[in-house]
Amino acid sequence: MPYEISADLIGQWVGQHLWPLFRIASFMMVIPFIGTQLVPARIRLGLALLITVLIVPMLDEVPRVEALSADAVIITLQQILIGVGLGFALTALFQLFVVTGQMIAMQMGLGFASMVDPANGVNVPVLSQLYTISVTLLYLAMNGHLVAFEVFLESFRTLPIGLEGLGQAGVWDLAHRISWVFVSAMLLALPAVTAVLIVNISFGVMTRAAPQMNIFALGFPIGLMFGLFSIWVLQANFLPHFQQYAEETFEFMRQLQGVP
């Protein structure tokens, strides 16, 4: 019996490779380090194509729909949403430390000392850039990128290619993830912010007792010194905090996929 090739079969072959590529490429364009301006878009696209070719033989058959139908558009959008959503969950881990650096820098008087972040192309305080570099090195040293890809590739099993994706609950969970970023950043920056606040309160009392004292000439450098000392003390617990937040991030990525 001759093997017949129909338009539906060709469409399924294309969808078998194209839809996983949409999900993987969307993830690669958003995630930290690889999805930043440090890595050219051609390299990201090449890695996405390579990963797609490697995992397509392990995937289940995709739905047979017409290439230009509404169902095909919905499936494509669902794959993009899944890739961007999981990548955003991972990006929130890095932005947490950027927000932490901004909170501490504003309190200790380093908010004006900013520089261009080469990864995102925006101005951030120097302290945020220091935290970003530290987190990136820890992320790569702990093989966080490999764990991220492992969790992401599980989505092809937990969220197979079809008309259903993250759903309304998953989108709301991603929106609420922003509050987790600010809460975690506040908890991480609280010791340094509290130390600088105590110094400012003490100088406020001194100013009331001796109004002729130049509080700006004396308080700014001392507040800066206490802030730098607090940052130095906090560096001792930097790795445990990063490990805890990374575990929470990977667990959240699994929850988005419906994994208990």
pLDDT of residue 1 exceeding 60: no
What percent of the chain has pLDDT above 70?
82
Greater confidence, 137 or 1? 137
Residue 115: strand, helix, or coil: strand
| Element housing 124 (H / E) | strand 123-125
Q: Is 43 exposed, middle or buried (0-12, 13-18, 19+ CB in 10 A)?
A: exposed
Residues 6+ apart with CB under 8 A from 120: 36, 37
Q: What span, in angstroms and rounded, lies between the C-alpha atoms of 17 and 162?
A: 14
Q: In this predicted structure, what is the pLDDT of residue 116? A: 65
Q: What span, in angstroms and rounded, lies between the C-alpha atoms of 120 and 39?
A: 11
pLDDT of residue 182 exceeding 70: yes
Q: For tokens 């890695």, name the residue.
A: 47
Q: In this predicted structure, what is the pLDDT of residue 112? A: 66
Q: What span, in angstroms and rounded, lies between the C-alpha atoms of 114 and 105?
A: 10
Q: Name the token pair of 162.
A: 């079809």
Q: For tokens 């969808």, name the residue.
A: 15
**Helices marked H in the chain:** 7-30, 41-55, 70-108, 126-141, 144-153, 155-158, 167-209, 215-234, 238-256
Q: Name the token pair of 89.
A: 């969950």
The pTM assigned to this predicted structure is: 0.78
- State the average pLDDT for the chain: 80
Greater confidence, 126 or 142? 142
10: left (phi over 0), alpha (psi -120 to 50) or beta: alpha
pLDDT band at 217 (very low <50, low <70, confident <90, very high): low
Greater confidence, 36 or 113? 36
Q: What is the DSSP letter of 61?
A: P
Q: For tokens 């790795």, name the residue.
A: 239
Q: What span, in angstroms and rounded, lies between the C-alpha atoms of 242 and 244?
A: 5
Average pLDDT over residues 35-50: 83
The amino acid at 216: F
